[in-house]
Amino acid sequence: MGPRRQLQVMVSALAENVERAIAGGPLLVDVTANAFGLGLARVADIARNTGASGLYVANADGALAAQATAPGLGIFVGRAHVGRQDELRAAGIRPVGQADAAVARDAVYGFGGRGLAVASLHSELLSTKSIRRGDGVSYGYTYRAARDERTALVALGYGDGVHRHAGNRSHVLVDGTSAPIVGRVAMNVFVVSLGDRAVRPGARVTVFGDPACGEPSLMDWSSALDVEPAAVMAGLGDRVERISS
């Protein structure tokens, strides 16, 4: 129960990205930061099924967590404290310098505009409201309505990974039509302007997704915020349900 907040992970797109990248030579799939928020077990399965040479994690703590989650796959670590080498070796984790494979990140996850889009972030309208010309919206009243208009509350905030500075800067899709985020994003909600549109509570909100389906891309979203796409995806909170599609 509770408001809908979902990250749909497009498993077939991830697999296709890995397969395309493997065509260029042996590959380690970078699963740093819980596979950049997509879920390590899910991405490890894809790596296994597509014949990747193993997994890569940038740091020792993450590599040990990956080893516990995805046994049976070769795991390579980036930079680790010299005092942890015995611990890593005992877990079967090797330094990436020993791998005969390249580490792939952007091409796998579609970061930096490379590869297919692999995930879409959705929520729903909680409620709508008619506000009047001059009314402020959210903390600090950084937005003032230039005319009477309709607004709606969306159940995502910076605690879910939508940056606080997305207000008055970024757009989302509401029921398929672009709507600007107005006022400051709060910890758990943001407000969109609907203009004159009448949209019902429960309407689908898309923050980013598959440009091939007319959704804004992760790159559009992250570049508007001046945040790396990998940090956007990895920064999505635990309340955002990850589902494979």
Partner 1 sequence: MTRDVWAEIDLDAYRANIRRVRAAVAPASVMTVVKNDAYGHGLDRIVAAAVDEGIRFVGVLDAPVGVALRRAGLPEDVRLFAWLFGPQEDYADAVANGVEIGVSSETQLERIVETADGRPARIHAKIDTGLGRAGARPEEWADLVAAIERSADAGLVELAGVWTHIAEASDEEDGVSIRAFERAVAGVSEGRRTGLVRHLAASAASFARDDSRFDVVRVGAFGYGIAPGDGVTPSSLGLVPVLSLRARVVDLDESGGAVLSIGSVDGLPGAGRRLEAAVDGRRVSITVGLVETTVAPEAGLTVGDVVTLVGREDRGEPTLQEWADSTGTIGEEIAVRLSPRIERLTHGG
Half-sphere exposure of 165 (CA within 13 A, CB side): 7
Longest dimension (CA), the chain: 66
Q: Which stretch binds partner 1 (CB under 8 A): 12-20, 47-55, 172-180, 227-235?
A: 227-235
Q: Which stretch binds partner 1 (CB under 8 A): 44-52, 75-83, 88-96, 168-176?
A: 75-83
Q: Out of 72, 79, 90, 98, which residue is the one contacting partner 1 (CB under 8 A)?
A: 79
Distance from chain centroid for Cα 185: 17
At which residue do the structure tokens 């930079």 appear?
79
- Which x/- pattern, by CB under 8 A, does the window 32-71 give for partner 1? xxx-x---------------------xxxxx--x------
Closest-CA residue to 129 (of 206, 182, 205): 182
Q: Number of residues in contact with partner 1, rule: CB under 8 A?
A: 62
H/E element holding 150? Answer: strand 149-154
State the nearest-atom distance from the C-beta of 79 to partner 1, in Å.
5
What would the two tokens of residue 206 be?
């898309």
Give the C-alpha distances (Å, rounded to integers) separating 77 from 58, 146, 197.
Answer: 6, 53, 51
Q: What is the DSSP letter of 146?
A: S
Q: Residues 135 to 194: which contact partner 1 by CB under 8 A? A: 135-141, 151, 153, 155, 158-159, 161, 163-165, 183, 186-189, 191
Applying CB under 8 A, the residues found at the interface with partner 1 are 1-4, 32-34, 36, 58-62, 65, 78-84, 124-127, 129-131, 135-141, 151, 153, 155, 158-159, 161, 163-165, 183, 186-189, 191, 201-202, 226-228, 230-231, 234-235, 237-239
